[in-house]
Structure 1
C-alpha cells in the first residue's frame, strides 16, 4: 500500500513538472533533478538511458544508467530492445541530444519519455560537494554550445555584483525563449581552468553562439533590453 502511494505521488509529480514545461506530447515530460532522482529511487527496474558517448559515460554517469549513444548509427536498434510500454528516463550532457532522442523515442512508439532538464551537467551540479570543482573540459564546453541553434552562455560567480543584477532576467529568458534559445549558466569559480582557456579575465562573461559559432561576447554587464535584442536578432 505504501509503495503504491509512493508511485502515485511520483506520477503526480511528473505530471506537474510536465505541465510546468512546454510539452511535446502527452507522452513526454521535462523534469527537474529532484523529480528525476525520486523516480530512480522509487523504481529498481527503471529504464534509465544515458545518450552521451561511451567516453563521456565512462567519465561519470548516473548510477545504473544504460549507455545508448545518440550519435551512434545503432541507436534505434538498441532502444528497440527496451520496453515501450514502460516509462523511459533519458539524459545527455546538457539537454541537446536528449531532446532529439526523446522525439525519436516518441516517434518509435514509447508511451512515456521523461527527460532530465539540463542533463548530466545539472545532475552533477546538484550531487557534487561545494568543495569539489565542477569543471567542464574545453571539449565538453564546445559540445554544449554546439548542440542547439542559439545558445546563451552566462559565466557568473556568487560574489559578482553585476552577475547578481543579470541573474533574474537571464533566468526569465529560459522561459521566454524556451525551445528557441538554450541558456547555460556556468559558475566561473568552479570552472576557472575553462575560463582561462577561453581567454577571459572579468565577470560576468556573456556569450551568444549561433550554430556553434560565437556571434557575441562581452566581459561585463549586458542590460536586459540589449541582451533581448541580441537574442532576437539570432532567431
Structure 2
C-alpha cells in the first residue's frame, strides 16, 4: 500500500510517501506557522520523488493519512482541509491519525511510554502506552496530574516520555521524573504515521480534528460597527 502522509499538527510541516514501510519521498520542515503556504508544494515534491523512485504519481497513491491532533488549531485545519480536498480529487480514502499515538509509535521502546505534548497554560496533552497498547484515552492534564498518572502507571519502573511535553514535565518535577527517558520530538516520524495510517480502518479513523480543550481564541461578542450592549443596571 502506498500512503501519502500529511502532518501539520505540531512543530513541523511534513509530506511523505511510504510504500510497505519503504520511504519513497519526503519533504519536512520545522515550523509552527506558515503551513498553508508551504504544504501544497511539499506534497507535490514528495510525490514527485516517489514517482522517480518507484514510478507512478498521484494516481499511485492508495490512501492519505493526516494527523488529527491534539495539536495546533490552525495547523490541524490546514492539514485536514488539504488532505480531504486531495482525497476527494483522487477518489482515495483519507484516514485520521492521532498525534499522540504516532509519537508513541515513533520510539522503539517497550514498557511504559507516555506521549506528551506541551499544551501551554500549565497543561500537557497525554496518552500512555504499555508495549504499544494504549492504557486509556488522550487527555488534557495539568503538569502535576500528568506526572502522577505516569508514575502510577510506571509502578517503580523508569518511564519513557516522548513529545514536546517531555522536557516540560521533567523540568517541572526533576525530583520525580529526573530518571525518565525523554525523546522531545517536535513531530512524529513519517514512518510511524504511515504504519498507523496503513493499518487504520477508514470507517473508524475519520479525518476529523481531535480537540481536547476549547480554543484559546473566542468569537467577538459583536460585529464591527455594532454598538456595545448596554450594561444592566
* TM-score, normalisation: structure 1: 0.35
Largest Rg, 1 or 2: 2
Q: Which has the higher contact order (CA 8 A, sep 6+)?
A: 2
* TM-score, normalisation: structure 2: 0.36
More strand by share: 2
More helix by share: 1
